[in-house]
Chains A and B, each alone.
Chain A
Amino acid sequence: MSEMWINMGPQHPMTHGLWNLRVKIDGEQVLDVDPEMGYLHRGIEKISEDRHYNEVITLMDRCCYVAGMSWEHLYVLAAEQALHVEPPERAEYIRVMSDEFQRIGSHVMWYAAFVQDIGLMTPFLYGMRDRDLVLDLFQSYTGARMTYEYMRVGGVRNDLPPGFIGEARKVCDWLIDRFVEYDQLCLNSDIFHKRCDGLGVMNAQACIDHGITGPMLRSAGVRRDLRKDRPYSAYDRLEFDVAHAEAGDVTARYLVRMEEMRQSVRIIRQSLDWLEHHPGPVLAQELPRWLGAPYAPVGREGYLLKRNYPKGLGFSAIEEPHGEALAYVVNEGSEHPYRVKFRSPVFANVSAARQYLVGYRVADIPPIMGSVDVCVGEVDR
């Protein structure tokens, strides 16, 4: 049989987004791969240089369309450091709760898509049904189901509506029971094990060398989680365990994500308890007036006055549903950020595709790439 290159993508059921995996095959054997990205590149980092600090948050939702809340959190943390702004404590708890609901939303979406890829249709419907409950919660306090624009430099936009905490608790109780069913559907299925066990193996050293983070790294036995190692917002005041597995294969990644969702419910319950008993402001009280408006109007006629802002550099690192997301914001004293740079975890995870795809067969590519959880929006930015 002769060797040849085939394209899996840009339109292919495996890709879950707009990207192209070029695969060099000999019969069914994968000899080499070359992921082609960029179909969704919108130049978010460049556009940010042209926007005011709070306007960039809109772009963050589009960065990752299944984890918008986490990306907003990433950006506002960096911007707050660059602009010397401190958010109130209640806002930090709301952010943590939103992050964890977003993690569940993202992981359930991943579960639905991934398990469908390997031939189990029922879990797809269950997953989509339960994700809607999380989106309903988001809608109740942000007004949107996907692009929230909820966090602000210096806090969050609005407080939780009355009755929200009870609803959120109900969703938590519902979800924690569903996770048991998810496991029963998959782990008791021969199809699942035949298509997942021992595939796409990455050991810990290879993961670290190639910059792989998140559930992929933890499934290889490395207990690294920025929420524990470098706590941000309110994570140092909450109790949870770092989910991890040893095998480093597709099944191990499944187990890690399932455990992460259970831990997320644990974190959400603690933050709901805190939020119930600690009312307060959700946006910094002494926010500079210019934040959000480039020129502060002076007087009744709306005279414009350009301000001199304090310079600064902001850096943030958070544990996003897909892995470690990093950002820095360079503030050179103008009303726009001078430079914004984001590190997408999926970008690094996909760049190592050669390491976990070569040597397997063509039919193994969908489960392996499914277990990577590709979100093209944040790879291309």
Chain B
Amino acid sequence: MAAEEWSGELARHLGDRMLSLIPFARTLGRVKFRPEAALEVFRTVHDDLGFDHLSMVGGIDWVDHREVLYTLWSDRRVAYLFLSADLVGSDPHIETASAVWPGANWHERETWELVGIRFDHHPDLRHLLTPDGYAFNPLLRAFKLHEPEELEVKTRHV
């Protein structure tokens, strides 16, 4: 499918809930959407655009904000699509996708405990990989495995 045709179809279905479409090699691109409209975006992408398979949910800590990234697959289009939303503020949260894709359940539990993104109305938001009561989000940039090494770097004066 031509790129313009695809972005036109996306714009028609998602309207102003879509912020931008960033092309990405061998996929249908990365769609940035407004996090407040998450549930409607999920429903549209699942029901109208045919992305019925949720492959994974992940989060990236960009220090000033966090990004939640959904990877979707469509059997009809035979292609991957990324959905992403930027979450700002001290308590990043977004609506759960598990009402639309039941398989999102564990992926969101993992993202919640490791990246610290809360999923509203999640049916079962418990620790999955880390012990109950574990108070850290290891995948945040502020969580250091060790203090930075004091490397003595010689510089060359030319």
Contacts and interface: CB of A to CB of B under 8 A. Distances in A.
B154 A343 contact: no
B1 interface: no
Interface stretch (B3-11, B32-40, B48-56): B48-56
A210 B127 contact: no
Interface string A293-322: 001001101011110000001010100000
B55 A46 contact: no
Interface string A190-232: 0000000000000000001111100000000010100001100
Given A298-B156, A303-B154, A211 B58 contact: no
Contacts of B61: 339
A285 B131 CA distance: 46
A343 B75 contact: no
A295 B114 CA distance: 30
Contacts of B55: 211, 317, 324, 326, 343
A38 B131 contact: yes
A338 B58 CA distance: 14
Contacts of A268: none
A46 B143 contact: yes
A129 interface: no
Contacts of A326: 55-56, 71
B54 to A, nearest CB: 6
Contact of B103 (A303, A304, A348): A348
A351 interface: yes
Nearest to A344: B56
B26 interface: yes
Contact of B139 (A46, A306, A324, A343): A46
Given A46-B139, A328-B58, A209 B101 contact: yes
B111 to A, nearest CB: 10
B129 A313 contact: no
Given A339-B60, A351-B105, A50 B145 contact: yes
Give the secondary structure class of B's interface: loop
Interface string B119-134: 0000000011111000
A381 B106 CA distance: 14
A43 interface: yes
Given A38-B131, A315-B27, A45 B56 contact: no
Contacts of A380: 129
A351 B129 contact: no
A380 B109 CA distance: 13
Nearest to B58: A341
Interface in B111-158: 114, 127-131, 138-139, 143, 145-146, 151, 153-156
Interface residues of B, number: 41
B2 interface: no
Interface string A341-378: 10100011001100000000000000000000000000
A185 interface: no
B103 A351 contact: yes
Given A38-B129, A317-B80, A380-B129, A210 B26 contact: no
A275 interface: no
A219 to B, nearest CB: 16
B127 to A, nearest CB: 7
A41 interface: yes
A313 B24 contact: yes
Contacts of B138: 43, 46
A46 to B, nearest CB: 5
B24 A315 contact: yes
Contacts of A317: 55, 80
Contacts of B27: 315
A128 interface: no
Contacts of A305: 156
Interface of A: 37-38, 41, 43, 45-47, 50, 81, 208-212, 222, 224, 229-230, 295, 298-299, 301, 303-306, 313, 315, 317, 324, 326, 328, 330, 338-339, 341, 343, 347-348, 351-352, 380-381
Interface of B: 24-27, 52-56, 58, 60-61, 69, 71, 75, 78-80, 101-107, 114, 127-131, 138-139, 143, 145-146, 151, 153-156
Given A43-B138, A209-B103, A328-B69, 18 more contacts: A41-B130, A45-B114, A46-B143, A208-B52, A209-B102, A211-B104, A229-B78, A230-B79, A299-B156, A304-B153, A315-B80, A326-B71, A338-B60, A339-B61, A341-B56, A351-B103, A352-B102, A381-B129
Q: Which 8 A-B pairs have the closest CB atoms?
A: A211-B103, A343-B56, A351-B106, A38-B129, A341-B58, A41-B129, A210-B103, A303-B156
20 contacts: A38-B129, A45-B114, A47-B145, A81-B25, A209-B102, A230-B26, A230-B78, A230-B79, A295-B153, A301-B154, A303-B154, A305-B156, A313-B24, A315-B80, A326-B56, A339-B139, A343-B56, A348-B103, A351-B103, A352-B103
